[in-house]
Amino acid sequence: MSNRKSILFIHPQGENWIPGQENISRIVNIMPPLGLLSLSAWLERHGHQTWVHDCYAFPGSDDRILETLREQQPDFVCFSTTTSSFLDGIRLAHRVREARPSARCVFGGVHLSALGERLLAEYPVIDFGVMGEGEETLRELVESEGKQLADIRGLIHRQKDRVVFNGYREQLVDMDSLPFPLYEKLHGFPDSYRLPIFSYPKAPNTTIITSRGCPYTCSYCDRSVFRRSYRYNSPQYMLNYLLHLRQRFNIRHVNIYDDTFTLKRQRVLDFCQLKISSGLKMTFNCAARTEQLDREMLVQLKRAGCWMISLGIETGDPQLLQRHRSYLPSQVVENPLQNIRETVLLIKECGIRVKGLFMMGLPGETGESIRQSMEYVFSLPLDDFNLSKLTPFPGAPMYRDIRNHGSFDETWELMNAANFTFIPHGFTREELEGLHLEFYRRYFSRPSTLFNYASMMWKSPDSWLRFWKDLPTFLKCTRKGKRK
Ligand code: SF4
């Protein structure tokens, strides 16, 4: 192919933790950068050559990146960043610029998609921005030879002194036309990557995504990349994907990282049926919204190998839930907390583990609402629990008027759900930190929680091995009073 280009993809690290604290986030969970792996597969299918450096899995990768620049001389260097890793991406882009001035630096991902043209105006080292879904925009860019850039939908570029966005793509890719992400581009895959500790029965394991977009508008959620469109892989594609992972990497468990895996009921049922018929012994986790689950679906999920379902419950205060969580008109629930409780019990009855995801520090949060959340969490038979610190990401609906509801320190590096960058009216940071710590301490000191984690010795032996290996680091962190 005469127009063959070479592209280096970089997933910057960012600090992604709490300043001054031992960083346990990488010990607990390292997920493959699936967006970049999908782009890499798409461009290779179209005849281009690609490399991927994941600085999150391998911090301090600068030398390896410079070596790739020297040896492979890529035409484009593409960065996918979150809000907290964006400035590390900029730092690396400057190093790329020095080492290989002719390479074009392209940024994409959630932070770029949320802030758009502003980032190119403020950071001249970025040559191009890709807004939203990247596959076709990036392919057209690398094949353009720098011509007719104004015709590439989804692209941000410079015209003389102006930064111009060409508008969103109307036609998005058919999900079943996507090649499987190129996990093999990752150094040390699958062993260098791990799902959160205690959230899988077997290793090696990994993450997959089988749908893009979400039709809901929860106030705290940044959906800048795939926005409100909802597209998904067919059940047959999903099964083929799992078979590929087993054959190529011996993967034995996957986390289905879709925002709304259970939105299309029939798709889930058909996938379960196919997977059961295939005889493939591979377990999986998924996330769901409680109002989309019912007994029939849960029975089928269990039979198909579902090991754990994560539920975004967020808070035990009904008013906060009503204010921040969105529902589809066809799925409005009268009493959400009661619906969640009944669904948790139903999931457990069907033999599937349940993880509850909560957040603290929402606009409107009070001391009383936090106490309510604690009592609600402790009354549910959850198997696992996570309490993140609310972060008003630039693409989240609440970002627009967040300063009306409290004080907001918009330091991008700290915006990672592990720091309180937003303090709602009525609190000090110290009070929120104290309540966050109390929440975790009370949760993890309950006999039922301790018994549950003890049972992981036979349900997830690999997690316990990891836990013992990293115990000194966990203890150091616990003494300082933090856990993610
Ligand atoms: S929190 Fe979940 S359901 Fe709500 S907008 Fe985000 S992805 Fe969609």
Q: Residue 183 falls within a domain, yes or no?
A: no
What is the predicted pLDDT for the residue at 3?
86
What percent of the chain lies above the pLDDT cut of 90?
Answer: 84
Please give the distance, rounded to the nearest whole angstrom, from the Cα atom of residue 212 to the centre of ligand 1.
12
> Is the distance from the beta carbon of residue 327 to the nearest atom of ligand 1 less than 6 Å?
no
- Model pTM? 0.94
The per-residue pLDDT for 76 is 98
Round to whole Å and give the CA distance between 355 and 369: 21
CATH of the domain at 57: 3.40.50.2300
Last residue of a domain, one of 112, 143, 165: 165
pLDDT at 18 over 90: no
Confidence of residue 482 (pLDDT cuts 50, 70, 90): very low
pLDDT higher than threshold 80 for residue 259: yes
Within-domain flag for 80? yes
User: Quick check: is 187 in a domain?
Assistant: no
Kindly state whether residue 315 falls inside one of the protein's structural domains: yes
Query: Picking from 12-16, 223-227, 438-442, which range would have the lowest pLDDT averaged per residue?
Result: 12-16
Ligand 1 atom nearest the C-alpha of 326 is 4
In a domain? residue 375: yes
The ligand 1 atom nearest the CA atom of 259: 7
Mean pLDDT of the chain: 93
Question: 216 in ligand 1 pocket by Cβ < 6 Å?
Answer: yes
Q: Do 40 and 105 sit in the same domain of this protein?
A: yes
Give residue 1 CA to ligand 1 midpoint distance, Å. 42
Ligand 1 within 6 A of CB of 396: no
The pLDDT value recorded for residue 480 is 54
Amino acid 481: pLDDT = 47
Residue 326 maps to which CATH number? 3.80.30.20
User: Is 385 among the domain residues?
Assistant: yes
Nearest Cα residue to 291 out of 255, 335, 356, 247:
335
Q: Whose CA is nearest to atom 7 of ligand 1?
A: 259
pLDDT tens for 269-278 read 999 999 999 9
Paired with 308 in beta bridges are 285, 353
Say what the pLDDT of residue 16 is. Answer: 57
Do 222 and 303 belong to one domain? yes
Mutate to test the pocket of ligand 1, among 216, 286, 326 (most ligand atoms within 8 A of CB): 216
| Residue 205, ligand 1, Cβ within 6 A | no
Q: Is the CB of 214 under 6 A from ligand 1?
A: yes
Residues contacting 294, CB < 8 A, separation 6+:
none
Contact 88, 59 (CB under 8 A): no
Do 137 and 210 lie in one domain? The reply is no
Task: Name the residue range of residue 249's domain.
Answer: 195-477
Does position 27 have pLDDT exceeding 90, yes or no? no
- Residues 150, 267 share a domain: no
* Residues 317 and 403 grouped into a single domain: yes
222 in the same domain as 128: no
The rounded Å distance from CA 357 to ligand 1 centre is 12
Query: Is 444 part of any domain?
Result: yes
Q: Measure 219 CA to ligand 1 centroid, in angstroms.
A: 9
Whether residues 249 and 319 fall in one domain: yes
pLDDT at position 457 is 86
Q: Report pLDDT digits (tens) over 176-190.
A: 999 999 999 999 999
Is residue 54 predicted with pLDDT exceeding 90?
Answer: yes
Q: Which atom of ligand 1 is nearest to the CA of 214?
A: 8
pLDDT of residue 21: 67
Question: Which residue, judged by its Cα, is nearest atom 6 of ligand 1?
Answer: 221
**322 with 469, same domain?**
yes
| Same-domain pairing of 29 and 91 | yes
In a domain, 426, yes or no: yes
Q: Do β-strands 406-408 and 422-424 pair in parallel, antiparallel, or remain unpaired? A: antiparallel
pLDDT at 146: 87
Q: Report how far ligand 1's centroid is from the alpha carbon of 31 (Å).
A: 20
Pairing label, strands 128-130, 155-159: antiparallel
- Residue pair 321/337 in contact by the 8 Å Cβ criterion: yes
Q: Do residue 99 and residue 233 come from a single domain? A: no
Of 211, 214, 223, 322, which is best to mutate to test ligand 1, by the most ligand atoms within 8 angstroms of its C-beta? Answer: 214
Q: Which two tokens stand for residue 466?
A: 């990891």
Range scoring the smallest mean pLDDT among 70-84, 137-151, 449-463: 449-463
Residue 484 has pLDDT above 80, yes or no: no
Residue 483: predicted pLDDT: 36
Structure tokens at 296: 């029939």
Query: Which residue CA neighbors atom 2 of ligand 1 most closely?
Result: 259
Q: What is the SS3 assignment for the chain? A: CCCCCEEEEEECCCCCCCCCCCCCHHHHCECCCHHHHHHHHHHHHCCCEEEEEECCCCCCCHHHHHHHHHHHCCCEEEEECCCCCHHHHHHHHHHHHHHCCCCEEEEECHHHHHHCHHHHHHCCCCCEEECCCCHHHHHHHHCCCCCCHHHCCCEEEEECCEEEECCCCCCCCCHHHCCCCCHHHCCCCCCCCECCCCCCCCCCEEEECCEECCCCCCCCCCCCCCCCCCEECCHHHHHHHHHHHHHHHCCCEEEECCCCCCCCHHHHHHHHHHHHHHCCCCEEEEEECHHHCCHHHHHHHHHHCEEEEEEEEECCCHHHHHHHCCCCHHHCCCCHHHHHHHHHHHHHHCCCEEEEEEEECCCCCCHHHHHHHHHHHHHCCCCEEEEEECCCCCCCHHHHHHHHHEEECCCHHHCCCCCCCEEECCCCHHHHHHHHHHHHHHHHCCHHHHHHHHHHHHHCHHHHHHHHHCHHHHHHHHHHCCCC
My answer on whether 311 and 201 are in the same domain is yes
Residue 227, pLDDT above cutoff 90: no
312 lines ligand 1 (CB under 6 A): yes
Supply the pLDDT for residue 19.
66
CA-closest candidate to residue 482, choices 145, 165, 18: 18
Query: For residue 383, how far is its CA from the centre of ligand 1 (angstroms)?
Result: 22
Q: Assess whether pLDDT exceeds 70 at residue 1.
A: no
Ligand 1, pocket-test mutation among 225, 256, 260, most atoms within 8 A of CB: 260
Average pLDDT, integer, range 301-322: 97
pLDDT tens figures, 407-426: 999 999 999 999 999 999 99
Judge if the beta carbon of residue 218 lies within 6 A of ligand 1: yes
Work out how many domains the chain is built from and give that number: 2
